[in-house]
Amino acid sequence: MNLVATTLLGPGRTNPSKVAIATVDGRHMRYADLDRLSGQLANLLVHRYHVNEGDRVAVQSPKCPELLALNIACARIGAIYVPLNTSYTDRETRLLLDDASPSLLVRETLIEHDTPRVDVHGLVHQAHEESTHFVDVTCGENAPAAMLFTSGTTGRAKGALLTHGNLVSNCQTLNEVWGFTPHDTLLHALPLFHTHGLFVGAYCALSSGASMILMENFDAREVLGQVSSATVFMGVPTYYVRLLAEPGLDREIVKGMRLFTSGSAPMLRVTHEQFAERTGHDIVERYGMTETGIITSNPIDGTLKVGTVGRALPGVNIRVTGGSPGDIEVKGPNVLGEYWNRPELRATEFTADGWFKTGDVGVVDDDGFLEIVGRAKDLIITGGYNVYPKELEMVIDTFAGVLESAVIGLPDADFGEAVTAVVVAQADVHLDEAQLVVMARSSLANFKVPKRFIIVTELPRNAMGKVEKARLRREFTHG
């Protein structure tokens, strides 16, 4: 059995004429279409592009229904699906391609790299000449299914290898906890290159036999135009802040909705309160990571606790070590087993007894609800995306006239945290903030580009010479 393909296609095979994916411009892909196209793509990948079990297929493409068929096709082959953020610059993309060594890159525009490239629509056009019948490669729970890159505090990207078992256990558990059924329709506004949008949103919908309305990207007004046709919406705090800015958001327009969820970044209490007042709905916060999928969730029955990310999912174990608050560690079928070509990380990212170190700091209350109070790893979450300061600092420090830099996150009502670079100029050099932004945009994805460059004469350091970022955050939070 192919675990991912069976899980995602199985429910739809009982009702093949049902719409699996609809787009806002009126396109429809039935479950039968998804099944057939994934088979054709699997045949094409094997016969024309020589993709075999264990090979990587890198995908850096705008969001469209065909990407989900491609993802399933890779699973059917036993290949490893490698989604890449569409905001990455060519420099960033080349580094990841060098690491992953994929057999194929699915991308619209040319890039200087020796990986064979084709765009997704060209791939689909070629696939129409292939048979819809494909004999799935047997892939059990330990077979690798996907690899997502997540940067580390060292600045070097890490390829998190997720297995068929990781992905399937998580979406099946979420379907139980969140009550997904074939009667649901997910309004899908998240990216498909991210765990949240692909392995939580899309996988929950397909594995439960539900339908999806696929938006190319998040637009608050467009969400309000589609929400009356949906029952579930998943987002990040930024989405909800922007929805609250729309006067059309009220109880009437969301009366058919069953569930709103949020994750990827902490949500302010005021956002919870304002949304509940305007719509009559609570936002169910949950907690997850690229390496683990979803770890905890608040309940959907109205007993959630604002300010927490809920209890551990069934089958998932969490513990807090080193005090209370303490370091959050997790263990379960949702947790990755290894990083791509980085065996040394087993010793640093896992405890001696096999628990994964999240890098977050939290406390569990008497009812088992987890509250995250900080991050041990120097991580910024902006608009739901992870930004690792060391990576940015390594780039900014190469800019002409820059002596050194420290990248921090400052509170932001829209993005949760705003990426901010505190920069020291070389002697007798005048730095221009606007020019620094231009240089950053040439080297970094848009979500990584600092919203602000603060120029100072020196960075504060402790007795060991380490930059005191907590002090910088305090100084500039209200500055």
pLDDT tens-digit map of 313-360: 999 999 999 988 899 999 999 999 999 999 999 999 999 999 999 998
**What is the distance between the alpha carbons of residues 469 and 455, in angstroms, rounded to a whole number?**
15
Cβ of 245: how many Cβ atoms within 10 Å?
Answer: 10
Structural domain boundaries enclosing 406: 380-477
Task: Provide the token pair at 127.
Answer: 């696939």
Q: What are phi and psi of 345, to 5 degrees?
A: -75, -15
- pLDDT score, position 296: 98
DSSP letter for each residue of 69-136:
HHHHHHHHHT-EEEE--TT--HHHHHHHHHHH--SEEEESS--SSSS-EE-HHHHHHHHTTS-S---P
How many CA atoms are closer than 13 Å to the CA of 352, on its beta-carbon side?
0
- Tell me the pLDDT band of 269, cut-offs 50, 70 and 90: confident
Smallest CA-to-CA distance from 447 within 398, 391, 400 is with 391
Q: Give the 3-state secondary structure percentages of the chain, helix then strand then coil, rounded to 5.
A: 30, 30, 40
| In the block, residue with structure tokens 């007798």 | 428
- pLDDT score, position 464: 53
- pLDDT score, position 465: 66
Look at phi and psi of residue 391 and say left if phi exceeds 0, alpha if psi is from -120 to 50, else beta: alpha
Judged by average pLDDT, the poorest of 32-36, 125-129, 427-431 is 427-431
Domain termination residue (choose one: 308, 336, 364)? 364
Residue 205 covered by a domain: yes
- pLDDT score, position 72: 98
CATH number at residue 89: 3.40.50.12780
- More confident call, 86 vs 266: 86
Strands 19-23 and 211-214, sheet pairing: parallel
Residue 254 covered by a domain: yes
Judge whether residue 463 has pLDDT over 90.
no
Contacts 24+ apart (CB under 8 A), 449-452: 449/419, 450/392, 450/407, 450/419, 450/420, 450/421, 451/412, 451/415, 451/418, 451/419, 451/420, 452/410, 452/418, 452/420, 452/421
Domain termination residue (choose one: 364, 397, 418)? 364
- pLDDT score, position 245: 94
Domain termination residue (choose one: 304, 336, 364)? 364
Judge whether residue 151 has pLDDT over 90.
no
Q: What confidence tens digit (pLDDT) does each residue in 166-185 have?
A: 999 999 999 999 999 999 99
**What is the distance between the alpha carbons of residues 157 and 95, in angstroms, rounded to a whole number?**
9
Residues 339 and 422 in one domain: no
- pLDDT score, position 466: 74
Residues 345 and 385 in one domain: no
- C-alpha distances in Å from residue 162, one per residue of 155, 335, 386, 442: 21, 8, 18, 31
Which range, 33-47, 415-429, 448-462, has the best average confidence (pLDDT)?
33-47
Residues 205 and 78 in one domain: yes
Residue 317 covered by a domain: yes
Judge whether residue 153 has pLDDT over 50.
no
Residues 287 and 348 in one domain: yes
Contacts 24+ apart (CB under 8 A), 7-10: 7/168, 7/171, 7/172, 7/203, 7/207, 8/72, 8/75, 8/203, 8/206, 8/207, 9/34, 9/35, 9/38, 9/72, 9/206, 10/207
Residue 372 covered by a domain: no
Residue 371 covered by a domain: no
DSSP letter for each residue of 339-381:
ETT-TTHHHHHB-TTS-EEEEEEEEE-TTS-EEEEEESS--EE
Residues 83 and 133 in one domain: yes
- pLDDT score, position 377: 66
- More confident call, 330 vs 386: 330
- pLDDT score, position 120: 98
Q: What confidence tens digit (pLDDT) does each residue in 139-149 have?
A: 999 999 999 99
Mean pLDDT (the chain, rounded): 94
What average pLDDT does range 33-47 have in this prediction? 98
Q: What confidence tens digit (pLDDT) does each residue in 208-231 have?
A: 999 999 999 999 999 999 999 999
Residues 175 and 208 in one domain: yes
Residues 216 and 340 in one domain: yes
- Tell me the pLDDT band of 388, cut-offs 50, 70 and 90: confident
Residue 370 covered by a domain: no
What average pLDDT does range 115-125 have in this prediction? 98
Residues 300 and 407 in one domain: no
Number of domain units in the chain: 2
Residues 82 and 134 in one domain: yes
Residues 251 and 393 in one domain: no
Residues 208 and 322 in one domain: yes
Smallest CA-to-CA distance from 473 within 394, 429, 408 is with 408
Judged by average pLDDT, the poorest of 130-139, 148-157, 238-247, 378-387 is 148-157
Residue 183 covered by a domain: yes
How many CA atoms are closer than 13 Å to the CA of 289, on its beta-carbon side?
21
What average pLDDT does range 75-88 have in this prediction? 96
Residues 26 and 80 in one domain: yes
Judge whether residue 445 has pLDDT over 50.
yes
Cβ of 153: how many Cβ atoms within 10 Å?
Answer: 14
CATH number at residue 455: 3.30.300.30
Residue 375 covered by a domain: no
